[in-house]
């Protein structure tokens, strides 16, 4: 049995932002979280594989400045600065939900990416339509009202218990602002445009895609796997959006692939 890798808390000022991250061992595996979570969602993976899981700007314990560019290009540039600061010349990217911003980084700097793992990522391909909650967030005034009426109970109704409480504790005004700006900057046509160079990514990829995700349909896992230019292996998982919580064996599959 593999002994768990110890996870340490780190923080530093990067590109003018106080950034918090979790780090285990020396592996150059970069774990990118989604909305509304933070780097802590990857703790079971870090303990198994080692790696680095930042709280992206606007989330968790990282800064949530009003003047940060909460868009796909904004996060792309942040990831480059983060990797430069930590001396990560080449990384394996493991992405979930809005962690898909890593795909923008990968397409712009393909030589810095060794492998890709995608699970329930916001799809940078054509044909996607935002789910009901996201459509509310994207609507001015309605989005602000939705944020204002968000409660711990509503988080518990829509998210797994392992995610809901920790995410709600960090769901302050700064995170709410980041979510609204990110979604409003990302209509479907923008998502598709940011995936136009996926075919240029030649590195190996593992696409672990749940079949019961209420936000992103199974077909988008298939489309992403087909859009990638390298050897992309698609595995369909009988689970919801946070697939590894229902199917812990997924952690082992990812570990074998990234190591």
Residue 81 clears pLDDT 80, i.e. is over it:
yes
Give the CA radius of gyration of the chain.
17
DSSP track, 51-108? EEEE--TTSTTS---TTS--SHHHHHHHHHHHHHHHT-SSEEEEEEEGGGHHHHHHHH
Report pLDDT for 83.
98
Q: Look-up: residue for tokens 């075919």?
A: 199
The predicted-structure confidence for 104-160, as pLDDT tens digits, reads as follows: 999 999 999 999 999 999 999 999 999 999 999 999 999 999 999 999 999 999 999
56, two tokens: 């992206």
Structure confidence at residue 3 (pLDDT): 76
> Where do the domains of the chain lie?
7-128+190-258
- The pLDDT value recorded for residue 1 is 53
pTM of the model: 0.97
| 245: pLDDT strictly greater than 60 | yes
Average pLDDT of the chain is 97
For 7-128+190-258, CATH gives 3.40.50.1820
| pLDDT value of residue 5 | 83
The predicted model gives 236-243 an average pLDDT of: 98
């Amino acid at each position: 049995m593999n002994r768990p890798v110890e996870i340490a808390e780190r923080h530093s000022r990067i590109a003018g932002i106080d950034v918090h991250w979790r780090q285990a061992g020396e592996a150059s595996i970069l774990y990118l979280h989604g909305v509304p979570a933070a780097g802590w969602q990857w703790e079971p993976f870090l303990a198994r594989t080692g790696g680095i899981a930042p709280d992206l700007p606007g989330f968790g314990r990282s800064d949530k400045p009003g003047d940060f560019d909460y868009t796909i290009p904004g996060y792309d540039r942040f990831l480059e600065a983060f990797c430069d600061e930590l001396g990560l010349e080449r990384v394996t990217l493991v992405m979930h939900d809005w962690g898909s911003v890593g795909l923008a980084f990968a397409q712009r700097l393909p030589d810095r990416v060794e492998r890709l793992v995608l699970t329930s990522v916001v799809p940078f391909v054509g044909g996607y339509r935002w789910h009901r909650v996201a459509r509310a967030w994207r609507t001015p005034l309605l989005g602000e009202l939705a944020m204002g009426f968000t409660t711990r109970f509503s988080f518990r109704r829509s998210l797994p218990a392992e995610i809901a409480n920790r995410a709600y504790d960090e769901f302050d005004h700064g995170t709410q602002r980041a979510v609204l700006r990110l979604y409003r900057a990302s209509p479907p046509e923008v998502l598709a445009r940011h995936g136009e160079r996926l075919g240029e990514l030649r590195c190996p990829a593992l696409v672990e895609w749940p079949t019961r995700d209420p936000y992103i349909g199974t077909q988008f896992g298939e489309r992403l796997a087909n859009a990638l230019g390298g050897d992309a292996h698609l595995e369909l998982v009988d689970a919801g959006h946070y697939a590894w919580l229902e199917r812990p064996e997924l952690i082992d599959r990812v570990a074998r692939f990234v190591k």
